[in-house]
Amino acid sequence: MDKVMRLASEKGVVIFTKSSCCLCYAVNILFHELGVRPMVHEIDQDPEGREMEKALLRLGCTAPVPAVFIGGKLRGSTNEIMSLHLSGSLTQLLKPYQP
């Protein structure tokens, strides 16, 4: 849990992913199209990945990946991020992190 929270607060936008996850790729592309370059941490490439996955679920993610943190706060997985995007709220959350 500590490692997840430490990584989540290192940059304004952090996405925990798995290298083989197509939804993770789609969320990452969405952020790039919105002008944000998130820090992407592939938990399947991390020796502590299994523990990190469990920690993300304990934090309230409906699915362990993608897990999106904005401003150090967990904003959710694909469904939550797409809902924020479609409602226009995601753009407002990302304003401080756009160049």
- Position 41 scores a pLDDT of 97
CATH code of the domain containing 12 = 3.40.30.10
Provide the number of structural domains found in the chain: 1
Largest distance between two CA atoms of the chain? 37
Task: Answer whether residue 84 shows pLDDT above 90.
Answer: yes
Q: Using one digit for the tens of pLDDT, what is the confidence trace for 2-44?
A: 999 999 999 999 999 999 999 999 999 999 999 999 999 999 9
Predicted TM-score (pTM) above 0.75: yes
Q: Binning pLDDT at 50, 70 and 90, where does residue 61 land?
A: confident
Q: How many helices (H) and strands (E) does the chain have?
A: 5, 4
CB atoms within 10 A of CB 26: 13
Q: How far apart are CA 34 and CA 29, in angstroms?
A: 9
- Position 53 scores a pLDDT of 94
Q: How far apart are CA 59 and CA 57, in angstroms?
A: 5
- Position 76 scores a pLDDT of 94
Q: Determine the structural domain holding residue 88 and report its residue range.
A: 3-95
Q: How far apart are CA 99 and CA 97, in angstroms?
A: 7
- Position 62 scores a pLDDT of 81
- Position 64 scores a pLDDT of 84
User: What mean pLDDT is predicted for residues 61-80?
Assistant: 93
Tokens at 3, concatenated: 């490692």
